[in-house]
Structure 1
């Protein structure tokens, strides 16, 4: 098949899916938005990539980063992006489009374009944009939150109706999808995974840790976006507790409003044991994660089940334990607790977050045991071949169903095949 994988954010684990699909003989175009501020994979051809794999950057207005939290401008840029995405689909002419992480309006444009061009369209639900917009806008005004939420809910309903199938990353999303008018028969759950092949285990003493002067430090690491749904205050509280321990460092590899706030507070308070750095190249990720003794994650209460942080899945691959302040019903939290791969505390409970991090930093045996369980889980669940099998099955079904909706000769050929 000709497959277009549209991962708006450009995450590493999605690149691994495109690589695997291409290795099976499919013609795959991996497309993504330009100028986004988020951790990204290697979004270009690498040595060893199949000949049938292509990468395509789709233009996003470069001012998007600056104006991301200005609703009117952000909406205009996203609508412009939708038109660019539609052009790419028309030029590539795939048999099927898989589109995820995409804001509502460009997702609707893509779904309608595929319907018009008789291309199978699969929506990959990583979160619910309309719910996120409503919560974000409600912080400014309850009326604005209601109006924005209602507007985007209508858009989400429309692109779900135009989709041939829905891939959900969690069964938790199915009741919500039903509220959007999506029948359960139209949904397949495929949980997200970490880019296991791209994150081999590394010793703490490695080229990156030596370059950063961290090979002899005990490192608590946060790596990923620090956005509106992440509260950086626990990191400052943890730094205060570790002031007397010169061997301990908190390393924050992040960008976004939370990172800007954290940097400002570190400067104001004269905090010397937090190191803040921008996103690093994906090629360095194994060494970066290998440098950590303990990983850190935060998610605000309102995120609930609606966000599954990909950083936690990468942490699992690296074979180190995680201390997470997040809702216990969140899928990542449930994985950490069930697998014994970390400690989960309620979001906003900075005291318990700090205590859990300090406990793991001091208890070598427990830390090593949790890290081993984390890697074992990743190896049992993140093998890309099995993940790809499930996506291929969805693509075959929607392509067959789409062919049955075509002309009489097309229907006859599909039945004979």
Structure 2
């Protein structure tokens, strides 16, 4: 089977799946957006990669203007056209699309429908709900109209998809409301690349290079965008400002990271360190440096987003403190795994208290960390997960297409320098 899997963000679980599908004998092109600021997975060719696997970065003709709304809309259309071109050149048997802007999804989907290529919408977030909430707050009635358009567009792409795979049961109510046929829907919780995130000791080359191998480290790694409240991290740093043995480390880029740097300077928070995204190869050591790992998610985002960092944290075998809505899938995973503590994102004092419980109780931290890793080892078996995902794809194809005997043209990926 020839599979074109596009994950706009280039996140670790998706590239891990693509490699696993290629290892199962399929010809896989894994594409992603080259310009965006976000934590990435292993997006470079590895010596162990199957010959039937290639990586394709898709680039815009000019730098991404993430915070200019109208310019970004034009760029998302351009991205969709470039994605469409890549799909047509690859001639896949099936296309899987995740995390992409809705305009790009619609353009790619149209190209697939015209060529009768099955299209799978892999739902990581309900983007239109996020846009609706944000634009309504920002632009009032105009924002309401923009939000309604995006809801229409997302509903349309879902209705026209041959298969919809969502990562959370929490999305099912919206899919029901939009009339997405239950017969084409599946819920498959996301995972983390377990074997690429082994447990590492606190004293490791990365921690030593920064002087983080001693003392207690509270660490946040990931995006700090509209779905997150970085002020909670500032509150934690303020709480421990008199403790020379405790540091708060934030690994992020963009406006949220800039906010943290401003607060560090304004409040004189010498215990706060802000770093850029680290290479994926370093992530086991980065997460291993932490004594407590932190997740943030705003209340409005609890319905439409599931922070995947929680899953990577589980692999690291460290305790978690999460300011996250109780109904969110990630909060349920933390509770089920016994891997940490959660608090309402609306209650800063409760969140700081949860962090403090872990700071003050080393045995609890150890138990949460052990529980977290055990859960990851039970749930993140990539062979089982790849077989399950493969089943969703195979079911869309005629019998003659399932073996993928026709060789795919990988020249596009090679010329892109991946």
Whether these two folds match at TM > 0.5 is: yes
* Post-superposition offset of 1:61: 4.8
Structure 1 residue 258 displacement after superposition: 1.4
Other-structure match for 1:2? 2
Task: Name the counterpart of 2:43.
Answer: 43
- Deviation at residue 402 of structure 1 after TM alignment: 11
Q: Measure how far apart 1:401 and its partner are.
A: 9.0
Q: How far 1:105 moved relative to its partner?
A: 0.6
Q: Across the two proteins, how many residue pairs are aligned to each other?
A: 402
Q: Which residue of 2 aligns with 1:58?
A: 58
Out of 313, 325, 328, which is 2:326 matched to? 328
Deviation at 1:276, TM superposition (A): 0.3
Partner of 2:414: none
What do residues 210-244 of structure 1 show as CA deviations (whole Å, max 9, x unaligned)? 01110012100000001111111111111112122
Contact 1:122 1:163 (C-alpha < 8 Å) held by counterparts: yes
Provide structure 2 residue ranges, at least 5 long, that are not aligned to the other structure.
Answer: 402-418
Residue of 374, 378, 403 corresponding to 1:376:
374
TM-score by structure 1 length? 0.94
1:286-319: CA deviations, max 9, x gaps? 0000000001111111011311111111001101
8 Å CA contact 1:34–1:57 kept in 2: the answer is yes
Matching residue within 271, 274, 278 for 1:273: 271
Paired with 2:98 and 2:84, the residues of 1 have a C-alpha distance of 15
- Other-structure match for 2:202: 204
How far off its partner does 1:174 sit?
A: 1.6
C-alpha distance 188-402 of structure 1, shift in aligned 2 (>3 A): farther
Tell me how far apart the structure 2 counterparts of residues 250 and 276 of structure 1 sit (CA, whole Å): 9
* Residue pairs, 1:32-111, within 5 angstroms: 32-64=32-64, 67-111=65-109
Corresponding position of 1:409 = none
Q: Which residue of 2 aligns with 1:367?
A: 365
Task: Name the structure 2 match of 1:310.
Answer: 308
Task: Give the TM-score normalised by the residue count of structure 2.
Answer: 0.94
Q: Using the alignment, how far apart are the partners of 1:80 and 1:116 within structure 2?
A: 19
Q: Is the 8 A contact 2:127 2:304 kept in 1?
A: no
Tell me how large the CA RMSD over aligned residues is: 1.5
Residue 46 of structure 2 aligns to a residue whose secondary structure is coil
Asked if structure 1 preserves the Cα contact closer than 8 Å seen for 2:247 and 2:271, the reply is yes
Which residue in the other structure is 1:414 paired with? Answer: none
SS of the aligned residue for 2:293 comes to: strand
Pick which of 53-62 and 363-372 moved more.
53-62
Task: Give the ranges of 4+ consecutive aligned residues of structure 1 lying more than 4 Å apart after TM superposition.
Answer: none
**Residue 218 of structure 2 aligns to a residue in which SS?**
strand
2:228 is the counterpart of 1:230? yes
